[in-house]
Amino acid sequence: MPGKLIMTWDINPEHEQEYFEFVVREFLPQVQRLGFQLSDAWVTVYGEEPQIMVGAILPTIAQIYEVMRSEEWDALIVRLLDFVTNYEYKVVPASGGFQF
């Protein structure tokens, strides 16, 4: 069964421009190079939910955890944390619909 990695975070307002450059030029391409298929990206414009939510799919949940144990993944997340706060993630079976 396909697995889905759901990541959420808030953009640090002091680093907003650098954040967008990093996400477009490095983060999303690297996530895809690691084998994930990006499934969705959401921005919260009003309310108390996380500002950003990104979903990425791999063929199995075990593959997601394998990628997340890699040095490449660790380096990518450390870099993301330069620009965001409240980073959280969860791994769930992919349902094909909206998941939070």
The pLDDT score that the predictor gives to residue 80 is: 98
In a domain, 99, yes or no: no
CA distance 4 to 96: 10
In a domain, 63, yes or no: yes
In a domain, 25, yes or no: yes
Global pTM?
A: 0.91
- pLDDT tens readout for residues 29-87: 999 999 999 999 999 988 888 999 999 999 999 999 999 999 999 999 999 999 999 99
Q: What is the CATH classification number for the domain harbouring 85?
A: 3.30.70.100
36: which DSSP letter?
A: P
Sheet containing strand 3-11, strands side by side: 37-43, 52-58, 3-11, 84-93
Q: Are 15 and 83 in contact (CB under 8 A)?
A: yes
Domain range holding 17?
Answer: 3-93
- Map residue 22 onto helix, strand or coil: helix
